[in-house]
Each structure stands twice: as structure tokens, then as C-alpha cells.
């Protein structure tokens, strides 16, 4: 090959190298997100059980039998309501974290598909 031809190929090769590097970064990011989703998936049954428990406690309270679980509180059911509300907030945070990672994952997959 002539040196003129090699000079013409350098910018193209630089673009190829840059695209390959960017693709590698996207793949690493995707792997990191997948690991995060796997970690959260391991906790999914815990949060499902917590959600079921909150529902059961609500049902018990609706039946007027909340004191069977909570006992007699000096200030009524405020403590029990606060605890169930805090548990539901943790459940919501868990679901939000999963949704955020899934959105990031989808965005990365679209970037890989589009070659960005």
C-alpha cells in the first residue's frame, strides 16, 4: 500500500477504534446494570413477603382486630400505622430502584442497537 493510501485510512481507523471503545463501555455498563438487577432479584421474594404482610395487617385492622397483632398502644394505632407506612415506603423504593435499572438497561440496549 502506498503511504497516501495509509494516510487516508488513518481517520477511518481512528473512528473504528473510537466506536469499538464506546461499544466496550456500553457493554461494561450493561453488565453492571445486569448485576444490579440480579442482586435485586435475589431480594424480590423478601419484598413480596413484606408486601403480603402489610396487606394482611391492613386486613386485620379493617376487621377491627389489629390489637391481636399490635397489642394495646397507649396512643392508639399510630405506631402500627407508621410502621406499615414505613414498610410500604421501603417496598416502593425497592420497586423504583428496579424500574430505574430496567430503564437504564433498555436505554443502553437501544444505544447498542443504534450503534451509539
pLDDT tens string 71-103: 876 555 567 888 999 999 999 999 999 999 999
Overall pTM surpassing 0.85 (yes/no): no
* Residue of 98, 87, 95 whose CA lies nearest to 56: 87
Residue 63, classed as helix, strand or coil, is coil
pLDDT at 74: 53
| All cell numbers assigned to 12 | 477511518
For residues 28 and 55, what is the distance between their CA atoms, to the nearest angstrom? 40
Q: Is the pLDDT of residue 110 over 80?
A: yes
Question: Tell me: the pLDDT tens digits for 19-69?
Answer: 888 888 888 999 999 999 999 999 999 999 999 999 999 999 899 888 888
Amino acid at each position: 500500500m502506498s503511504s497516501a493510501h495509509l494516510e487516508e485510512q488513518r481517520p477511518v481507523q481512528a473512528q473504528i477504534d473510537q466506536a469499538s471503545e464506546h461499544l466496550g463501555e456500553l457493554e461494561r455498563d450493561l453488565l453492571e446494570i445486569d448485576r444490579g438487577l440480579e442482586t435485586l432479584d435475589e431480594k424480590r421474594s423478601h419484598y413480596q413477603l413484606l408486601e403480603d404482610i402489610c396487606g394482611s395487617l391492613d386486613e386485620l385492622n379493617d376487621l377491627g382486630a389489629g390489637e391481636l397483632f399490635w397489642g394495646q398502644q397507649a396512643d392508639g394505632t399510630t405506631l402500627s400505622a407508621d410502621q406499615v407506612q414505613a414498610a410500604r415506603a421501603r417496598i416502593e423504593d425497592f420497586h423504583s430502584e428496579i424500574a430505574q435499572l430496567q430503564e437504564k438497561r433498555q436505554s443502553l440496549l437501544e444505544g447498542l442497537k443504534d450503534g451509539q
